[in-house]
Amino acid sequence: MSIKIQEIGVDLLPRYAEIPISFKVKSVFRIEVIDKGLGGFGLIEEKVTPYTKDYDSIEENGESRPIRCTKRYDVSKWGFFLALDESRAVGGATVAIDTPGMNLLESRKDLAVLWDIRVHPDKRRCGIGSRLFKHAADWAKQKGCKQLKVETQNVNVPACHFYAKQGCELGALHRYGYAGCPDVAHEAMLFWYLEL
C-alpha cells in the first residue's frame, strides 16, 4: 500500500465526503466530578451496549459535514487533504485557520482547528490517520500556527486515545457543550491541543 497525501480544493470535497466517518461506540468516558469540580475531573472508561455513531448522518439540506462547512464559513484559508491509495480516496483531513465567526478558533490567529479527520473503515489501523494528522499539523505550523486544537466527544474513546498518542493533551472539557442538541445532549465535548 503506497499512500500519498495531497492538498485538494473545495471542488473535490464531494469525493472527500464519500469516505465514511462512522465508528462503533463500545465504551465511553464517564466524567467524574471531584469535590464539585474543585478537585478537577476524572475520565472513567466504561463499556456500553455497542452502537454506531456517524458524524455525517446529521445532514442539512442534503449536505454532509465536509460540504456544509463551505456554506457556513469562509474556507479560503483552510487546508483540505486526501489520502490516496493509488487513485482511491482512503482518508481525509481538514484544517481551519483564521476564520471569522468560528468560535473553536477562540479569536486567535495562532490557533488551527482540525475540523475533520477520517479514514475508510477497511484502511483503519494502518497508519493513515497518523500520517494525515502529522500532515495537518505540519501544514498548520507552516501557516504560522502555534497550536492545533481538536474537538471530540466522550463517546469517541478511540479518537481520544489516538489524539493522546499523537502528542495532544486534553486542554478542556465541556460537560454541557451539546445541551442544545437533543440527539447528543448526553455527550461531553473534549478539547485536545497539540503544541506545534
- E strand map for the chain: 3-8, 23-33, 41-53, 79-85, 88-97, 111-119, 147-153, 169-174, 189-195
Higher-confidence position of 69 and 192: 192
pLDDT at 66 over 90: no
The answer to whether the pTM exceeds 0.85 is: yes
Enclosing domain of residue 154:
3-195
Provide CB contacts within 8 A for 43, sequence distance 6+.
29, 30, 31, 32, 154, 160, 170
Q: What confidence tens digit (pLDDT) does each residue in 116-169 have? A: 999 999 999 999 999 999 999 999 999 999 999 999 999 999 999 999 999 999
Task: Give the Cα separation of 158 and 173 in Å (integer).
Answer: 17
pLDDT at 17 over 80: yes
Tally the domains of the chain: 1
What pLDDT does residue 47 have?
A: 98
3-state secondary structure at position 136:
helix
What pLDDT does residue 72 have?
A: 87
Q: What confidence tens digit (pLDDT) does each residue in 34-60 have? A: 999 999 999 999 999 999 998 887 655
Q: Domain of 13: which CATH number? A: 3.40.630.30
Query: Lowest-pLDDT range, 66-80, 82-96, 119-133?
Result: 66-80
Task: Give the Cα separation of 38 and 71 in Å (integer).
Answer: 41
Task: Give the side-chain half-sphere CA count within 13 A for 49.
Answer: 0
Pairing verdict, β 41-53 and 23-33: antiparallel
